[in-house]
Amino acid sequence: MDLKAKISLVLGLVILPTFLLVTVVENQLTHPLLSEDLRQIGINSAKTLAAEIVTSRLLSNPNPTAAIESRIQNVLFAQPNIVRVDVLVRDQITGLIQSVGSNFEPDEGDSPAAVFPWTDVVSSEFRNDDNGNGLWEIAVPIEQWGRDFKSPKKTLGNVRLAISMKLVDQIVSTLWRITATGAAFSVVALFLVLSFFLRKAISNDRKLLQAENQNLQLSQQLHEAQRQVMNTEKLAVLGQLTASFAHEIGTPLNAIGGHLQLLREEVVRTGVEVPKSTPERFDLINGQVEKIALIVKGFLQRSAKPVSQTQLVDLNQILEKSVSIVRPRIDSMGVEVRRKLDRTLGPLRVVPMDLEQVFLNLLNNSLDSLSAKTQRKERPKLLLEVSSHLQREEGQEWAELSVYDTGEGIKKSDLGNVSKPFFTTKRPDQGTGLGLTICKQLAQKYGGRLDLDSREGAWTRVVVRIPYHGA
C-alpha cells in the first residue's frame, strides 16, 4: 500500500467516524433542547389563553364558546405547531367536566372528564400520537383571585393543549443531512488538497531516503572503525593489567603454597600431636590457594575462548562447602547459621568454581554486615540463613539459592547501585565494590539473575536464580 492509499484509508477511518460521532452528539443535544423550548412555548400559550379567559370574563357570558374558540384560533395562528386546544370547566351544580371551547371534534360518546383529567397545577406529558409522532400534552389551570387578592385562588377550568414535535424532528433531520454533506465535502476537499502535496512529498521522501541510506552506511563504517579502535585499546590495557596482576599476585601466592607444604611436612615429620581437624584445615587452605591460582590463570586466559568445564553438581553441596570455608569466621563472631535446603533438588550443569565464587562473595558480604552491626549495637541478633528450593514461574523452573542475614542492611537509595562495578558501602580498606558485580555476571552467564532486597538496619536477602533443567 503506497502513501496515497494510506492517507485515503486514514481519512476514511478517522474523519468520517469523527463527523458521525459529532452528528450523533449534536442530535442527542439538540433534540432535547428544542423539545424543551417547544414545551415552554406550549405552556406559555396555554397560560396566555387562560389569562385572557379570566381577564375578559369569558366564562361569565351566557354562551362563552364562540368567544373562547375565537381566542383558540388566535393561538393556533400564532403557533402552528399547536395541533389541539381544549378549554374545560366544571359545572357548578352537577360538578361534571364539560368543554366550552375546542378546535377538535371529539368522537361521539367521549366524555371530557375521561379524555382530560382535571388538574389544579401546570403539568406536561410527552407521548406519541396514533401515527407515532411525538407531542407534548400540556394542562394549565384557569385560576381567579378573590376580590381582595387575599382569598385563595379558585380554579375555574383547565386549558388543555397539544403541541407537535414535527418541527423539532425536521430541524434535527436537516442538521443531520447538513453535517453528513459537510463530512463528505470535507473528505473530498482534504483528499484533493493532500493529493496535490503528496506528489511533492513523495518525491522529496525518495531523495531523503537515499540520503539516509548513504548516511547509515557511513555511520556503520564509522562505528565499526571506532569499535575496532576501542577493542585494540582494551586489549592493550588488559594486557598491561594482566601482567601486573599476575606478577603481584603470583609471587606471594607461590610463597604461601610453598610454606603451607613445608608446614604440613614439618608437622608430619616431627610427629606433633594436633587436633583431628588440622589435616582437614590444611586441605581446605590448600584448596583455596589452588582456587586463587585458577582464578589468576582464568583471568590471564580471558581474552581466549574459554574451555568448557561444566559438570553436574549438587547445589546444596556447594552451599555447604561455602559455609564450611567461612566457618572459622562464623564461629569467632558467634553467628547462628540456619539451613533451609531442598534435598530433592537435582543437580545442575555448571562450573562448580563459578557458583562457589558467588556464594563465598555473598557469605563474606553478610558476615561483613553482621560484623559492622556488632560495632554499632550491643549484643545484636546475628543470624545467617542459606536456603535452596525449586520455583516454578510462567512455565519455567528455577533453582533459587538465597543468603539472608540480620546485618545492618542497605539504604534504599543504594539498592539500585550496589551491583554496579566499584560501588561499595564499605570502607575503602574493606571492599572494592566488585563482589556483587561478579556474582551478577556469573548468574547471567547461565541465563539467570541476581535479586537483592534489604531493609536498612534490619536485614538483607540476596537470591540467585538459575534456570533449572532437572535430571
Residue 445: which CATH number?
Answer: 3.30.565.10
Asked, for residue 292, whether it belongs to a domain, the answer is no
Asked, for residue 445, whether it belongs to a domain, the answer is yes
Of 137-141, 197-201, 358-362, minimum mean pLDDT range: 197-201
Q: Which three cell numbers stand for residue 63?
A: 354562551
114 pLDDT band, cuts 50/70/90, is very low
* pTM exceeding the 0.75 threshold for the entire prediction: no
pLDDT in tens, 239-289: 666 656 665 676 577 667 767 777 777 777 777 777 777 777 878 887 887
229 pLDDT band, cuts 50/70/90, is confident
Q: Are 50 and 140 in contact, with CB atoms under 8 Å apart?
A: yes
Per residue in 418-446, is it b (16+ CB within 10 Å) or e — as a string? bbeeebbbeeeeebebebbbebbebbeeb
Q: Are 163 and 41 in contact, with CB atoms under 8 Å apart?
A: yes
Q: Give residue 251's pLDDT.
A: 57
Asked, for residue 176, whether it belongs to a domain, the answer is no
Asked, for residue 138, whether it belongs to a domain, the answer is yes
Three-state secondary structure of the chain: CCHHHHHHHHHHHHHHHHHHHHHHHHHHHHHHHHHHHHHHHHHHHHHHHHHHHHHCCHHHCCCCHHHHHHHHHHHHHHCCCEEEEEEEEECCCCCCEEEEEECCCCCCCCCHHHHCCCCCCCEEEEEECCCCCEEEEEEEEEEECCCCCCCCCEEEEEEEEEEECHHHHHHHHHHHHHHHHHHHHHHHHHHHHHHHHHHHHHHHHHHHHHHHHHHHHHHHHHHHHHHHHHHHHHHHHHHHHHHHHHHHHHHHHHHHHHHHHHHHHHHHHHCCCCCCHHHHHHHHHHHHHHHHHHHHHHHHCCCCCCCCCCEEECHHHHHHHHHHHCHHHHHHHCCEEEEEECCCCCCEEECHHHHHHHHHHHHHHHHHHHHHHHHHCCCCCCEEEEEEEEEEECCEEEEEEEEEECCCCCCHHHCCCCCCCCCCCCCCCCCCCCHHHHHHHHHHHCCCEEEEEEECCCEEEEEEEEECCCC
Give the CATH number for residue 97: 3.30.450.20
Asked, for residue 392, whether it belongs to a domain, the answer is yes
Please provide the average confidence, as pLDDT, over all residues in the chain: 79
Asked, for residue 88, whether it belongs to a domain, the answer is yes
Of 140, 164, 188, which residue sits at a domain end? 164
Asked, for residue 340, whether it belongs to a domain, the answer is yes
Of 120, 137, 164, which residue sits at a domain end? 164
Asked, for residue 287, whether it belongs to a domain, the answer is no
Of 146, 164, 182, which residue sits at a domain end? 164
Q: Report the domain count for the chain.
A: 2
Q: Give residue 143's pLDDT.
A: 86
Beta-strand pair 134-144/82-90: unpaired
* Domain extent at residue 413: 308-467
| pLDDT for residue 306 is more than 50 | no
Please name which of 360, 229, 212 lies closest in space to residue 288, comparing C-alpha atoms: 360
Locus of grid cell 525449586? 390
pLDDT in tens, 43-81: 999 899 888 888 888 888 888 888 888 888 988 888 888
